[in-house]
Structure 1
């Protein structure tokens, strides 16, 4: 993907506050490509990927309106590793292609690619810099439980499919500590925003 613009990969574990941070950057005029939204877009009714999923798992994987039953699919892939591998081999290239397309259309000074699996997949290869949203595992569990209505065991199971907090932070260029103080969060976002504007300007000048 050819671009002269800075792309920042934003990631973090479940319940870390990625969406909140993304909204802060969006309010500053920064274009955000959300890999979770892309993952939903590529399996909407009428898409080729959904047809392949239906052929593989059967019609029961669909809701009555023809949409993908995400809850049922999630239960299958978390309990059957081989099915998870099949699904990832189908969707990851499609998602990657759509992410590239959306990134190429961004017009802000720099762009954010938000993805919970940025480091677990090859999506990190699309970015110039990695920003990790970090918080304690207990806060992750509390936030995800309040948001999704899942019990602690379900959330811990999801956390185990993601990189550990330590490994994630070790690969970061930048880290935002999101422990609940909104004013502190905004201050960190603003500081990084200024840094990214400077880096984006330097990158633009070096490629002219």
Structure 2
């Protein structure tokens, strides 16, 4: 089992790639099933000054201030799927490093994936290798791949791949935000580039994450 201390040290050692939260005792204590039909998820590295509030239906709010740690939270489904069409809307106002994305995992093989709609000054996929691009829902997304070596994952400390689709240009943070994400468009594009996801899905959420000093994100999914 990955301890909270070792998890934080692993995160700190790889600042160029957003870390994978581990599915250990600490995570289970912070997760709940949320309203019927939605999976609610919340994780911090133990130093983040951030608060997660589960709202009605597919809604949630995360606020952070005087923050020096990392966090990620949101709502979605458990298990996920490669065919879901997700609609989201709300308010996304980060100050500093943050991102708003679909975030999930597959198993067999173990893959962590992000479909990033918006982010702060730092592109969270910056350490990845560019594999190409795809047009989905009327927007262009850069496709990248990164390798995480002996890092926390939903199966403990392992080496695994990260898949990224990053909207380019990103949706401008700092106010109202909304959109539609057709997951099959991204999964098919990854597959066409030899980026094969796993045979089974773990959780899949519309997430707000980051490490910036302050901000607020109030998002509703459907």
TM value normalised by structure 1: 0.26
Task: Answer with 1 or 2: which has the greater Rg.
Answer: 1
Q: Which has the higher helix share?
A: 1
Q: Which has the higher strand share?
A: 2
Higher relative contact order, chain-length normalized (CA < 8 Å, sep 6+): 1
